Amino acid sequence: MLASILLLLALLAPAQEQGQRRGGQFPGNQTPTPQTTPQTPAPGPQTGGGQQGRPQAQPTPTPEEPPVVTKHSIRVGGNTINYTATAGLMPIKNRDGEVEARMFFTSYVVDRPEGGSRRPLTFSFNGGPGSASVWLHMGAIGPKRVRMNADGTMPAPPYELEDNQNTWLTQSDLVFIDPVGTGYSRAAKPELAQKFFGLQGDIESVGEFIRMYLTRYERWTSPLFLAGESYGTTRASALSGYLIDRGIAFNGIMLISTIMNFETTAFASGNDLPYALFLPSYTATAWYHKKLPSDLQTKPVNRVVNEAEAFASNEYTLILEKGDRLTGQERQDAIAKLSRFTGLDPKFLDYANLRVNLNLFRKELLRNERRSIGRLDARFKGYDSNLASDSTDYDPSEAAIRPPYTSTFNNYVRSELGYKSDLEYYILGGGIGPWNWGANNNYVDTSTALRNALAKDPYLKVFVAMGYYDMATPYYAVEYTLHHISIDPLLLKNISNSYYEAGHMMYIDEKSLSKLHSDVEKFMQDSMRR
């Protein structure tokens, strides 16, 4: 996801203050189904004279805005799928029944499907934190897709939508959730907003949304799936542990461009771990831009990164651990091997003390070509104003996707889904305040919640999708996390993964989009086998 341009800032400067927790929010109040257009009381100002002994008027209940329901059809693989789209706001209440926020969602439900409510249901969101669900919605999963060039680069405006021949609607009904502060989702009062802008408040509010949706739309007995991208995988793994303790179990979780343990990507003093875990992604990127020695350059990328992984997890890790205890010859040997796997100049690696953070790599790899490379997708090239600086001006991969997704969704939600609002739809950032990570140290790790969910529900399956050119959530860091969650060996078979020759949002590349659809289709079918 890109959905995750704020991720790097969050890694570098995680908030240390402990935010308020939304204790007891999950139970909520039972409400009628949407067909009855329920009226939801909301707190309001007291009226009347306010004199002692004189009764004051009760606050006027605020009517709940009913969702907009429309009918559609799409032809996929020669078959016509008729479906109902619903776009609207879900009230998020506290235990007293007071509305504290309203979360925007879009759902797609196939009309009169075989099995009725037993049809699978997938809840999907993106990351950031601070990103709307538009990226997975309009890039990979929903019935409509933003038309990009075949390799994922930006087409010329005006931008267009097309029927998504790889929509997951063939396998599951879909619900796209915009967390508070993203999309059209807002806190009911400005002073309540910060309760949602943190790890715990975000988990509890999205968990409450899921409970409310299952209740209002009577889907408690459907096979359930979660799909998250980037920080959305942080949220999904945490939700799996949070909701299993509240009686909601999932058949499967799809983690796309994953980060659960933030230590694996935080280039910080005293933390050498990311240098080793980013190295295979550096190698893949150097291979793509033809900067490796000929013996590596002629091999397929999967074989090249396998060699880089062996170096990173063994010799390079020991090199980093030795620090200034390296002998002169050991240092020269290390520089030569690191140059071989990164395509970087040996003198530069020496000056960098064998430790090249992401900013330096993005700037240095193509400096001789007067170009920088992308963070979300390292295949993309950027144009910087200062060729001598140590950081890039912008992320060319983010720049390529933001205008097409922003313009097409804003038109689609009004013209086709019929939901009309003058509010700004916050695509990425703009709607959230400082994020409260709620941790006692700098490194959040939600993999323990996923591990606990697997332990409590041995039927839960997990699918992990990883892009070789993803520099926001590098694939080898994901593998490291999955190998360090202390799961019982018998449950390892519940985790599967797949690799793509693309970046963070691998689905913007047409070949990777098709592969992702096939991989998810098989995963969902396997997850529902008893």
Q: In terms of domains, do 416 and 521 share one?
A: yes
**154 shares a domain with 138:** yes
Phi and psi, residue 100, nearest 5°: -105, -20
Sign of CA dihedral 125, 126, 128, 131: negative
Cβ proximity of 406 and 146 under 8 Å? no
pLDDT of residue 430: 82
CA–CA dist 110, 116 (Å, integer): 9
For residues 216 and 213, what is the distance between their CA atoms, to the nearest angstrom?
Answer: 5
**Domain with 277 in it:** 269-395
Provide the token pair at 10: 């969050």
User: How far is the CA of 363 from the CAs of 3, 349, 388, in angstroms?
Assistant: 22, 13, 9
Phi, psi of 262 (to 5 degrees): -75, -10
7 in any annotated domain: no
Q: Is 206 found in the same domain as 303?
A: no
Of 206, 251, 70, 88, the residue nearest 143 (C-alpha): 70
Q: Are residues 260 and 273 in the same domain?
A: no
Q: Is-contact 283 308, C-beta < 8 A? A: yes
Round to whole Å and give the CA distance between 392 and 381: 11
Residue 99 CA to residue 185 CA, distance in Å, equals 13
Structure tokens at 511: 């070949």
Does 214 lie in the same domain as 163? Answer: yes
Report d(CA 358, CA 375) in Å as an integer.
8
In order along its 530 residues, the chain shows pLDDT tens digits of 334 433 433 433 333 333 333 333 322 333 333 333 333 333 333 333 334 445 555 555 578 899 999 999 999 999 999 999 999 999 999 999 999 999 999 999 999 765 566 899 999 999 999 999 999 999 999 999 999 999 999 999 999 999 999 999 999 999 999 999 999 999 999 999 999 999 999 999 999 999 999 999 999 999 999 999 999 999 999 999 999 999 999 999 999 999 999 999 999 999 999 999 999 999 999 999 999 999 999 999 999 999 999 999 999 999 999 999 999 999 999 999 999 999 999 999 999 999 999 999 999 999 999 999 999 999 999 999 999 999 999 999 999 999 999 999 999 999 999 999 999 999 998 888 899 998 666 789 999 999 999 999 999 999 999 999 999 999 999 999 999 998 888 899 999 999 999 999 999 999 999 999 999 999 999 999 87
Whole-number Å distance between alpha carbons of 242 and 522: 26
Residues 452 and 357 in one domain: no
Q: Give the residue from 362, 395, 428 where a domain finishes.
A: 395
Domain boundary among 395, 411, 430: 395
DSSP letter assigned to residue 330: H
Do 499 and 455 have their domain in common?
A: yes
Buried/exposed 120-141: b ≥16 CB within 10 Å, e otherwise: bbbbbbbbbbbbbbbbbbbbbb
- Residue 298, CA distances (Å) to 126, 286, 308, 380, 512 in order: 36, 13, 15, 21, 22
Q: 299: helix, coil or strand?
A: coil
Q: Concatenate the DSSP letters of all residues of 141-153 into one string.
A: ISSEEE---TTSP
Same domain, 155 and 274: no
SS3 of residue 427 by DSSP: coil
**pLDDT for the residue numbered 56:** 54
The answer for residues whose C-beta is within 8 angstroms of residue 273's C-beta and 6 or more apart is 263, 264, 480
Of the residues 379, 395, 411, the one at which a domain ends: 395
Residue with tokens 């897709």, as numbered in its chain? 145
d(CA 443, CA 471): 18
Domain count, the chain: 2
- CA 112 to chain centroid: 31
CB atoms within 10 A of CB 34: 16
CA 429 to chain CA centroid, Å, is: 14
Q: Residue 494's pLDDT is what?
A: 96
289 shares a domain with 375: yes
Q: How far apart are the C-alpha atoms of 176 and 99, rounded to whole Å?
A: 21
